A and B are shown apart, each in its own frame.
Chain A
Amino acid sequence: MAAITTVELILLTVVSAATPLLLAATGELVVEKSGILNLGVEGMMLVGAVSAFIAMLTTGSWALGIVAGAAAGVIMSMLFGVLTLFFLANQVASGLALTLFGIGISSLLGIPFIGLPIEKLPTLDIPVLGDIPILGPLLFEQDFLIYFSVFMVVAVNFFLFRSRAGLILRAVGESHDAAHSIGYSVIRIRFFAVMFGGAMAGLGGAFLSLSYTPMWVEQMTAGRGWIALALVVFATWKPGRVLIGAYLFGAVTIFQLHLQGFGVQIPGQVLSMLPYLVTILVLVLISRNASRVKLSAPACLGQIFHSNT
């Protein structure tokens, strides 16, 4: 392994700070593109985190840990999907309930696992390329979930804007009645989107408990699910911008800590506020119809679909 310099270490920290946000936000983006607003990201991340941790600790397998995290997120999201898609429950209320439920159930499941440390998720070093100075370790000596998070941005972007299935998903999000009238199963498509969102949130949680801070403590997400939600709006529903937003946010947080170490004081509260501030700005902008279209907000976001067949 090449000698790691301070700059590289700082950049590595930025990458790992951004990854849980990126994973969860990419999933939520697809959910919202299908017209569903799931505010339960924080809850799904927590359940993903605790499940991944338990699976890793009991089986000793990283792969099983990661799969368990994703699966737990999917199960959580299915609860939400059933409530909102089949019983037509209010999405905002159901999403908030999912977060509260996730906080509770993850604490309960995690009780026997508090205070047990595990090894950090190992990095997958790509030979030769990893020896490139500065960029090498940054790009080619990361763990699986970091590679995967970036890959998923590309994949989701391709899926949404270059594939037929993605076109249908977006159509459902823009006008569920029109999509329904030409024969697409709105409910089924949305249910799959919600499950995908759950899997990604679960992976975001798994990254926290397996790699970022390899341990389980209650509420370890500390609000990252909400930041992920804000990032989707911040990115105006574009995967590439989610990537930029997540890394920007990671960078700002880390640099602020470094500046303090060098004796420069910036109120941390201001920085914690930033993503939400931008979110409010975007929300204000999209309240005008013309800019809503320009910013690619799904027209049916949060609306209940009443199938009248």
Chain B
Amino acid sequence: MKKFLIAAIAAFTYAISSGLALADDPLKIGFVYIGPVGDHGWTYQHNDGRLAVEEAFGDKVQTSFVEFVPEGQDAERVIRQLAADGNKLIFTTSFGYMNPTIKVAQSFPDTYFEHCSGYKRADNVATYLARFYEARYVNGRVAGHVTKTNTIGYIASFPIPEVVRGINAFALGLRSVNPDATIKVVWVSTWFDPGKEGDAAKALIDQGADIITQHTDSPAPLQVAEERGVWAIGQASDMAAFGPRAHLTSAINNWGPYYVERTRAVMDGTWKSGDVWGGYSADMIKSSEFNAESMSAEVIADAEATIAAIRSGELHPFAGPIQDQSGNEIIGAGATLSDGDLLGMNYYVMGVEGSLPQ
């Protein structure tokens, strides 16, 4: 009898507490960042997405983040800790978190994981990425209209397909309106080093570039462009404040809508693994306001028309004909590179100077 009583009480309290938990406990969501939230670039935008989730769901969610998590062993520890702390949805926002995410996901089958930029998935691991190249194509067109020296300086981080794709999309956009313009690329071997990025901008300007664009995260190149009297196109977040005159536009990573949608899916119980690679049409990227002081109305109108065409699917930045640097045809007129081709891109297209480091 006594045993039964204890068991009954235990069952009762458990039912009550778990019932209460279901009713009141907010959904816990964890975020893992590669850089500081204050980088004003990649991580800053992911954090912006986290804030959008908080705004959308208020006290129904409880979000937390860990910044500056190195890719590798540390990442696994951090992700595991977040899962163990009861986070039901975890966003891991750098390519190198792929294997740790998959590994932790196996130990926490009831937790949903979202890995940014990877290619490995599981029943509880989805992947997502934005089609940044769409915005870079638009930026390329803008640059093609604005440049006077026909030389664009491109500050690049590491020669991975994502970055190469961005350079090529920019080149295709550039030369679709200005076939004489070329791109000089400088690799800085870092995602974030304001000093070095600024120095690279100076080097490119000294070599005749009058527009600087970047695939690194700090706004230093913008500042250099402003100081030296040339133009610049920012990355990841709106960098206009760092070069009010120089800044033409920035491609903005816009994670908010996706994060809100996935959070809602977890709440509704409709979350499914999958792979999302969205661009302008999915609102995962957008262009910042075009600088009307430094660009003519025609150029702005052209950029907006290009965005509209990409959004409607009428224009694909990697539609043929496309030639590589030495003039070999990659794809003919009427065809378009597949997502698979884009994800493994390891060559420069016509219009990019220098050779791609291997």
Contacts and interface: CB of A to CB of B under 8 A. Distances in A.
Contact of A115 (B40, B195, B203): B40
B186 A254 contact: no
Contact of A214 (B223, B241, B354, B357): B223
Given A213-B218, A261-B186, 11 more contacts: A115-B219, A115-B241, A116-B241, A213-B194, A213-B198, A215-B223, A218-B35, A222-B190, A222-B193, A222-B194, A253-B196
A288 B186 CA distance: 42
Interface of B: 35-40, 44, 68, 153, 184-190, 192-196, 198-200, 202-204, 206-207, 218-220, 223, 227, 241-242, 353-355, 357
A283 interface: no
A257 B188 contact: yes
A12 B357 CA distance: 28
A117 B189 contact: no
A111 B35 CA distance: 14
A304 interface: no
Nearest to B244: A117
Contact of A254 (B189, B190, B199, B207): B199
Given A10-B206, A214-B223, A217-B38, A260 B242 contact: no
A13 B192 contact: no
A230 B193 CA distance: 19
Interface string A161-202: 000000000000000000000000000000000000000000
Contact of B192 (A10, A110, A222, A224): A222
Interface of A: 6, 9-10, 13, 17, 20, 107, 110-111, 114-117, 120, 208, 212-215, 217-220, 222-224, 253-254, 257-258, 260-263, 265, 267-269, 272
A262 B207 contact: yes
Nearest to B188: A268
Contacts of B353: 263
B219 A215 contact: yes
Given A9-B202, A110-B38, A213 B207 contact: no
A-B CB proximity, top 8 nearest:
A218-B36, A268-B189, A222-B193, A257-B203, A218-B38, A213-B194, A114-B38, A213-B220
A215 B220 contact: yes
26 contacts: A6-B206, A115-B241, A116-B241, A208-B194, A212-B198, A215-B219, A217-B39, A219-B35, A219-B68, A220-B195, A220-B218, A222-B192, A222-B193, A222-B195, A222-B196, A224-B195, A253-B199, A254-B203, A257-B188, A257-B199, A258-B203, A260-B185, A261-B207, A263-B354, A265-B357, A268-B187
Given A222-B194, A261-B186, A268-B189, A13 B38 contact: no
B204 A261 contact: yes
A13 B355 CA distance: 25
A107 B206 contact: no
B194 A217 contact: yes
Contacts of A261: 153, 184, 186, 203-204, 206-207
A260 B39 contact: no
Contacts of B195: 17, 20, 208, 212-213, 220, 222, 224
Contacts of B357: 265, 267
B188 A117 contact: no
B354 A265 contact: yes
Contacts of B355: 263, 265
Nearest to B209: A261
Nearest to A9: B206
B290 to A, nearest CB: 20
A192 B184 CA distance: 49
B202 A111 contact: no
B203 A13 contact: yes
A258 B220 CA distance: 18
B218 A260 contact: no
B207 A258 contact: yes
Contacts of B44: 114
B241 A117 contact: yes
Contacts of A253: 196, 199
Contacts of A272: 189
Contacts of A224: 195
A36 to B, nearest CB: 27
A13 B199 CA distance: 7
Contacts of B184: 261
A258 B206 contact: yes
A220 B357 CA distance: 26
B159 to A, nearest CB: 10
B38 A257 contact: no
